[in-house]
Amino acid sequence: MKDRKTYSESLRRSKDLENAIIQNPQNYRILTGERPTGQLHIGHLFGSIKERVRLQKLGTETAIIIADYQVITDRDEFKNLKESVDGIVIDNLAAGLDPEKTMFFCHSQIPELNQLMIPFLSLVTEPELLRNPTVKAEMEASGHSLSGLLLTYPVHQACDILFCKGSVVPVGKDQLPHIEVCRLIAKRFNERFAGVKYGELDKEGNPKGMENAVFPLPEALLSKVPHVPGLDGRKMSKSFGNAVLLGMSADETAKLIKKTPTDNERTITYNPDDRKEVSSLLTITALCRGLEIGGDGEQQIAEEINSDPKFGAGLLKQKCTEAVNEALRDHREKRSELAENLDYVHKILHDGIIKAREIAVETLKDVQNAMGTIY
């Protein structure tokens, strides 16, 4: 069996997977993770949360792993964690995820999930871990030497996915190497401990012994929305001050957009290489108006601005502010209602933790059975 390596292959596979989900939504559990490192912004909302809502509307169940241990992989700060966790639950609910069909939980609260880490670590080698490009990039950004946890967090992420035998994982491109590690671990576990022979096929073309497999080989589902840039064209990040946070008011949003730098050219054009500030304001405006981004939507807005006697960066910022505030109006209303009702938010999280733990206990039993560690 060949593991899928390239982005275009993953993209093609994501399309097939999406069609399969549409056909039989009840067969899939959508499993995805969020690291609680601060307030969420419109990049999260458009890049991943709205995707989850869309998939849930097709009829799937959703599990949202709040990866609190992941926070200490590449930063020293472990502050305001509770607020960040509450924020994740609040923003996902405000965007329309159904609390009846969504299991929210923090992975630190599920001992049986964490226990999978020990057998899983035995299934990967040091060079395999060291060559993970996302881990390398995170280490460089952290400015620290590689910690044991950062090196092995893709294995921990495999625990997040496999503890509930998750099969579909919506992620961004940067997470593809981790999904490969997860597939490798699932496959090697099935081979080593459950007698599956991926190299030998039966009459139906399935690997021999597949009926004894403990884990499925999960698939990445790449987001339909391409990368959302920050207001100034750099990566959207709270620390760069270029992110519209979901918790901001309409006025705060207007102020933030107003002070975003632009260039001196009055005619607005979409050119992400040479005019990254103007281009990202166009992208965000297009995205918030529900237009196609990456070219057409941006051109349309640029033309609209250039044909106005007041054309220029000021008008672009005004249109961007209007579009963002309009797109976030409902979300903000619901999120402030939920923020007033934290008991309800906490109940959803606690129920999710109980449910996740029940699932993890069962999976750990399967693992122990396969490994023969039952005494």
- Which of residues 17 and 301 has its CB atom nearest to ligand TRP in the complex? 17
Tokens of 121: 């670590």
Cβ neighbours for 242, distance < 8 A, ≥ 6 positions apart: 230, 231, 232, 234, 236, 260
3 state DSSP class of 96: coil
Binder of ligand TRP out of 33, 229, 230, 233 (CB under 6 A): 33
39-68: contacts with ligand TRP (CB under 6 A): 65, 67
Q: CA angle, 326 as apex, 321 and 330 as ends, to 5°?
A: 140
2-31: contacts with ligand TRP (CB under 6 A): 31
- Which of residues 157 and 283 has its CB atom nearest to ligand TRP in the complex? 157
Binder of ligand TRP out of 14, 62, 70, 132 (CB under 6 A): 70
C-beta separation of 189 from 369 below 8 A: no
Smallest distance from the beta carbon of 33 to ligand TRP, in angstroms?
A: 2
Does residue 32 touch ligand TRP according to CB under 6 A?
yes
3 state DSSP class of 207: strand
Does residue 254 touch ligand TRP according to CB under 6 A?
no
CA distance 131 to 102: 34
Binder of ligand TRP out of 4, 35, 334, 355 (CB under 6 A): 35
**Contact letters (x/-) for ligand TRP, 158-177, by CB under 6 A?**
--xx-------x-x---x--
* Rg of the chain taking only CA atoms, in angstroms: 22
List Cα–Cα distances, 139 to 88, 124, 330, in angstroms: 25, 19, 38
The continuous run of DSSP H or E covering 318 comes out as: helix 313-339
- Which of residues 256 and 349 has its CB atom nearest to ligand TRP in the complex? 349
Phi (first) and psi of residue 5, to 5 degrees: -110, -40
Does residue 84 touch ligand TRP according to CB under 6 A?
no
Smallest distance from the beta carbon of 116 to ligand TRP, in angstroms?
A: 13
Residues binding ligand TRP (CB under 6 A): 31-33, 35, 65, 67, 70, 157, 160-161, 169, 171, 175
